[in-house]
Structure 1
Amino acid sequence: MAVFVALGAFLMTLFGGWTAQRVTDRRHLVLGLAGGLMLGVVGLDLLPEAVRAAGQEVFGVPQALLLFVGGFLVAHLVERLLAARQAAHGAGPGEESHGMGGAGDRAPQMGLTAAAAMVGHSVMDGVALGAAFQVSGGVGTAVALAVIAHDFADGFNTYTLTSLYGNDRRRAVIMLVADAVAPVVGAASTLLFILPEEALGSYLGFFGGALLYLAAAEILPEAHHEHPARSTLLCTVLGVGFVWLVVGFAG
């Protein structure tokens, strides 16, 4: 049953990526919406679930929150290392990067790394879906609703992240398809094992930190770089609101 439901996530992910492709002439709105969706997924979905599943304290702080901060710092470190590597391979003093203003300023590897993290998250979506159906049909149905609905955001963000860092359309589509297949693979894998709840919560906390870094430090600043419009801000708020509705209905 879980594998069949995961096919819905597969289709919704592709639809999210297709939507991101079709609105290239309103790129700042796409990025604003993507940032809002990512912020909403982290704050309203991933982090609460992570704390619930892995909330035991380590030196006074919940384990999930420590991993959340760790994920943020790791994403920052990876981005800085890639930027330094790019500068060492051709960016002279007069070519120094200023934010993410042009395609030539971006490290394509960062986009692929971020998209690969999205794929990994989608695999865990499928694992969570399969694990939920191991508990009961009711729990599985609730998780399925949340996974299928927010996989639209996953597909949207995977395509956007890959292309944002200067990767061509072919690479972006490849990562999108990989992200779409991932929940099916994850759901199928639960036929072979049972994932401990604490391990799932720890992963969600770490991934949430990395995702928040990408939203706050890369996606949203780029969205407002050339178009600091109210419409962009509205798209960000709408993205957060959409995830809130999904979480509310799923709960």
Structure 2
Amino acid sequence: MAVLVALGSFVMTLVGGWAALRVVDRRHLVLGFAGGLMLGVVGFDLLPEAMEGAGQRLHGVPVALLLFVGGFLVAHVVERLLALRQSEHGAHEPGHVPQAGLGAGAAMVGHSFADGVAIGASFQVDAAMGTAVAIAVIAHDFADGFNTYTVTSAYGNDRRKALAMLFADALAPVAGAASTLLVTIPEDVLACYLGFFGGVLLYIAAAEILPEASHRHPARSTLLCTVAGAALMWLVIGTAVH
């Protein structure tokens, strides 16, 4: 049952990627909207789930927040190292580090796999909980597909690589749900992963996507797209929860 439900995530992810592909001539608006979606996913979905599932403290600070900051720092260090390596090979144009784009896309795939695991694990509890979690996951998989294609191509990767990462992201929830047929993942482990990934995603949005969106097109429309993306995730996640 969990695998069949996860097929909805597969379809919704591809729809999101298709939407990003169709508006390539409005790249600054796409990046602005994607940045807002990422901020919304982190603030309204990933971080609250991580805090709820991994609320224990370490030296006075919730473990989920420690992992959140750790994810941000790891993303920053990796991106800087890749940029330095790229500059040593003669590529000096900022924002075009293809390896960083592939790494960011791979992080999105990992998140989608965790979404599938969450669907499967919730169905192990009962059908009602599984259905509720599946609705929440499918509801924001449009954003996942949109962001995966956008963030992969934004760093200078060609269309073929961006589409390959999109299909990997679409398949990941199905694979994650299928994996729960063989093993049960502890809730606190999933919560820790969500906290870490939230930090990674926040770095991508705040340090890369949004500055790139506004650098060449500092227009009100870009800002409005960012606000709209965050507001949309608030409405989607709020509706799914209730």
Q: How far apart are residue 109 of structure 1 and its match? A: 0.4
CA displacement at 1:230 relative to structure 2: 1.1
Query: 1: distance between equivalents of 2:178 and 2:39?
Result: 29
- Is residue 56 of structure 1 aligned with residue 30 of structure 2? no
How far off its partner does 1:228 sit? 1.1
1:135 positional shift = 1.2
* Alignment pair present for 1:82 and 2:82: yes
What secondary structure does 2:55 align onto? coil
Structure 2: distance between partners of 1:140 and 1:203 = 20
Is residue 105–residue 148 contact of structure 2 (8 Å, CA) maintained in 1? Answer: yes
Q: CA deviation at 1:36?
A: 0.3
Where in structure 1 are there 5+ consecutive unaligned residues?
101-105
2: distance between equivalents of 1:37 and 1:142? 21
**Equivalent position of 2:67 in the other structure:** 67
Preserved contact between residue 132 and residue 240 of structure 2 (Cα < 8 Å):
yes
- The residue that corresponds to 2:135 in the other structure is 145
Q: What pairs with 1:24-63 in structure 2 (closer than 5 Å)?
A: 24-63=24-63
Identity fraction in percent:
73
Q: What is the Cα deviation at residue 138 of structure 1? A: 1.5
Structure-2 residue corresponding to 1:169: 159
Instruction: Quote the residue 2:144 is aligned against.
Output: 154
2:216 maps to which of 226, 234, 237? 226
Report the CA distance between 1:25 and its aligned residue.
1.2
| CA–CA distance in structure 2, aligned partners of residues 195 and 246 of structure 1 | 26
Q: Is this contact kept in 1: 2:34–2:226, CA < 8 A?
A: yes
Give the match for residue 242 of structure 1.
232
In structure 1, distance between residues paired with 2:37 and 2:62: 25
Number of aligned pairs? Answer: 241
Q: Which residue identity does 2:27 align to in structure 1?
A: R
Q: Secondary structure at the match of 1:232?
A: helix
- Tell me how far apart the structure 2 counterparts of residues 196 and 227 of structure 1 sit (CA, whole Å): 45
What residue identity is the alignment partner of 1:237?
V
> What SS class does the counterpart of residue 215 from structure 2 fall into?
coil
Q: How far apart, in 2, do the equivalents of 1:205 and 1:32 lie?
A: 23
Partners of 1:10 and 1:206 in 2: CA distance: 24
Whole-angstrom distance in 1 between the partners of 2:156 and 2:225:
23
**Which amino acid in 1 is paired with 2:214?**
H
CA distance in 2: counterparts of 1:225 and 1:148, whole angstroms: 32
Counterpart for residue 103 of structure 1: none
- Separation (CA, whole Å) in 2 of partners of 1:9 and 1:16: 10
- Relative to the length of structure 1, the TM-score reads 0.94
Superposed, which structure 2 residues align to 1:92-107 within 5 Å? 96-97=92-93, 99-100=94-95, 106-107=96-97
How many Å separate the matches in 2 of 1:227 and 1:131?
44
CA positional deviation for 1:90 = 1.6
Equivalents in 2 of 1:220, 1:203: separation in Å? 24
Q: Indicate conservation of the 8 Å contact 2:109/2:169, yes or no.
A: yes
Deviation of 1:239 (Å): 0.7
Match 1:190 to one of 180, 199, 208 = 180
What CA distance in whole angstroms lies between the structure 1 residues aligned with 2:58 and 2:144? Answer: 31
The two structures have a TM-score, normalised by structure 2, of 0.98
Query: Do the aligned residues in 1 keep the contact of 2:139 with 2:237 (CA within 8 Å)?
Result: no
Query: Structure 2 matches for 1:124-143, cutoff 5 A?
Result: 124-143=114-133
Instruction: Give the letter aligned to residue 68 of structure 2.
Output: F
Deviation for aligned residue 1:248: 1.0
